[in-house]
């Protein structure tokens, strides 16, 4: 969901290239990575509190071990809280996925042709250390205009 938004933002204004921009955490911007990691850790902890292993020892009246067995334990309140947190995460992800954004360039998501075009600017241009913006066919550091309808770009 983040990749098309990132490309679309480059169509709206000049930005630094990803190599010179802030580093990403878990290949996502911090605004997505930190909440996802926090919810994941909380969900993991809640599941570990919901299910656990129990060892039951049978002893005689003198305290000598006669027999033992292992079983799984289950806490229903903790499991209920785990389910609530899980469905909240699913609801938030669904809402974020349904958010609309204004398209500034043809929607191609993670199409390899679009990514290839973005990575190969025209030979007369050298945008390595400059601010870039989405042009007609690739990312450009030169001034760009909106694409003309019914025009063919190569």
CB burial of 113-126 (b: ≥16 within 10 Å; e: otherwise) equals ebeebbeebeeeee
Q: How far apart are CA 16 and CA 134, in angstroms?
A: 12
Report if pTM > 0.75.
Answer: no
Gap between the terminal Cα atoms of the chain = 28
Q: Give the number of other CB atoms < 10 A from CB of residue 90.
A: 10
Domain parsing of the chain, residue ranges: 2-140
Per-residue pLDDT of the chain (154 residues; tens, 9 = 90+): 566 666 666 666 655 555 445 566 567 777 778 888 898 899 999 999 899 899 999 999 998 999 999 998 889 999 999 999 999 989 988 998 887 766 666 566 566 666 666 666 666 666 555 666 666 666 666 677 776 777 776 6
The structure tokens 């958010």 sit at 99
């Amino acid at each position: 969901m983040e990749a098309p938004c990132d490309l679309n933002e480059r169509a709206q204004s000049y930005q630094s290239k990803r190599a010179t921009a802030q580093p990403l955490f878990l290949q996502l911007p911090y605004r997505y990575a930190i909440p996802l990691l926090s919810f994941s850790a909380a969900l993991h902890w809640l599941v570990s509190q919901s299910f656990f292993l129990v060892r039951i020892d049978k002893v005689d009246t003198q305290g000598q071990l006669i027999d033992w067995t292992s079983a799984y334990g289950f806490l229903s309140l903790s499991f209920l809280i785990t389910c609530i947190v899980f469905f909240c995460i699913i609801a938030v992800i669904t809402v974020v996925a349904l958010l609309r954004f204004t398209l500034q360039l043809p929607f191609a998501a993670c199409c390899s042709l679009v990514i290839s075009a973005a990575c190969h600017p025209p030979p007369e241009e050298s945008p390595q250390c400059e601010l870039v913006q989405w042009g007609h066919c690739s990312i450009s550091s030169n001034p760009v205009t909106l694409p003309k309808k019914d025009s063919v770009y190569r």
